[in-house]
């Protein structure tokens, strides 16, 4: 059994080799570490993209940031946190479930940005949204480096 994101997942054989219930790849080196890296990068990327969308929408509508937007984003975060089990139940596909379990963090990040930059003009809000989205995409694109470092640490740990 491998622990990913606080959930226990059993490894099931598929046509593409060992995979977890969430669809993340497992390897013989250290399936737990690879699953954790996969989970963190995928979920981290989806959180930042949700926050990006929430920041870009008012900016594109020509409305600047305010504490009202922070309150709305915080309310959305609370709502999605409270109903996250129902959101997960809506999904029939296992790879979507980890994203839905943590979907409440995206509006929380957006609320923090709205509150920190409450006087931002619409163009500045678009820029902030783009930066948050870029951070998520850089996280996703650096996955091969994360796997390399994780494999290297696993080998070093076994050698010592």
Q: Is residue 108 over pLDDT 50?
A: yes
- Kindly report, residue by residue over 111-156, the tens digit of the pLDDT: 999 999 999 999 999 999 999 999 999 999 998 898 899 888 888 8
Domain ranges of the chain: 46-155
Q: How far is CA 50 from CA 16, 84, 144, in A?
A: 30, 15, 23
At residue 64, φ and ψ (nearest 5 deg) are: -80, 175
Query: Sign of the CA dihedral 146, 151, 155, 157?
Result: positive
- Whether 4 has a pLDDT exceeding 80, the answer reads no
pLDDT at 112: 96
Specify the pLDDT at position 31.
60
Residue 130 vs residue 4, higher pLDDT:
130
8 Å CB contact between 64 and 119:
yes
pLDDT tens-digit readout, 21-54 = 545 454 444 567 778 888 888 889 999 999 999 9
Question: Are the CB atoms for 72 and 156 separated by under 8 Å?
Answer: no
Between 58 and 15, name the one with better pLDDT.
Answer: 58
Among residues 135, 118, 136, 128, the alpha carbon closest in space to that of 55 is found at 128
């Amino acid at each position: 059994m491998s622990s990913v994101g606080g959930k226990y997942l059993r490894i099931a054989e598929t046509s593409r080799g060992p995979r977890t219930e969430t669809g993340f790849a497992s390897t013989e080196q250290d399936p737990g570490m690879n699953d954790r890296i996969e989970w963190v990068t995928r979920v981290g990327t989806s959180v930042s993209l949700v926050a990006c969308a929430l920041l870009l929408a008012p900016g594109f509508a020509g409305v600047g940031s305010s504490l009202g937007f922070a309150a709305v984003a915080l309310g959305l975060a609370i709502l999605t946190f409270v109903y996250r089990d129902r959101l997960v139940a809506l999904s029939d596909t296992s790879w979507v479930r980890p994203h839905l379990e943590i979907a409440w963090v995206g509006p929380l990040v957006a609320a923090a940005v709205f509150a920190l930059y409450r006087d931002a003009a619409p163009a500045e809000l678009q820029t902030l949204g783009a930066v948050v989205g870029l951070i998520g995409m850089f996280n996703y694109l650096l996955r091969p480096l994360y796997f390399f470092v994780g494999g290297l640490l696993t080998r070093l740990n076994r050698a010592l």
